[in-house]
Amino acid sequence: MPVEPSFVDYPFAIDGRGWVATTTGDDHLRDLIHQVLFTNPGERVNRPDFGCGLLQLVFMPNSDVLAAATQFTVQGALQRWLGDIIEVEGVEVTATDARLEVEVVYRGIGEAAPRVVRFASPVRDEGCPP
């Protein structure tokens, strides 16, 4: 019986045994998407162009134009940084009142079933448990 590989969990934590917390492959992909979306360009020393800066949008006026620009930015960042491990099937960004919601439909390379993860500003990942 094959053993599913485990990955270091994000954000970094120590589990109940005092070891580095790990996660499954599905959660790892979700964690990687979260890192790309919420890392601001310039934040990583050795990769100054990594990320798409979704957190900066909290300070911008919410509109359909912002949603369209965000959709383009998110799609491009995911394809650039995670294109070798996921296929992005779609990104939908919705601006309603004071809330910006981002939905990413993706599948792991070589996998048949698509997955969906949702994020909203203020920052809340609806794809991961609290």
What is residue 11's predicted lDDT score, i.e. its pLDDT? 81
Predicted confidence band at 1 (pLDDT cuts at 50, 70, 90)? low
For the cut 90, the answer to whether the pLDDT of residue 57 exceeds it is no
Distance between first and last Cα of the chain: 32
- Cβ proximity of 51 and 39 under 8 Å: yes
**Distance from C-alpha of 56 to C-alpha of 106, rounded to nearest angstrom:** 24
**Distance from C-alpha of 38 to C-alpha of 57, rounded to nearest angstrom:** 10
Domain 7-125, CATH among 3.10.450.40, 3.40.50.620, 3.30.70.1560, 3.30.565.10: 3.10.450.40
In this predicted model, what pLDDT tens digit does every residue of 83-123 receive, in sequence order?
999 999 999 988 777 677 899 999 998 888 999 999 886 54
Q: Tell me what the pLDDT averaged over the chain comes to.
A: 84
Q: Is the pTM of this model over 0.75?
A: yes
Query: In the chain, what are the domain boundaries?
Result: 7-125
Average pLDDT over residues 6-27: 88
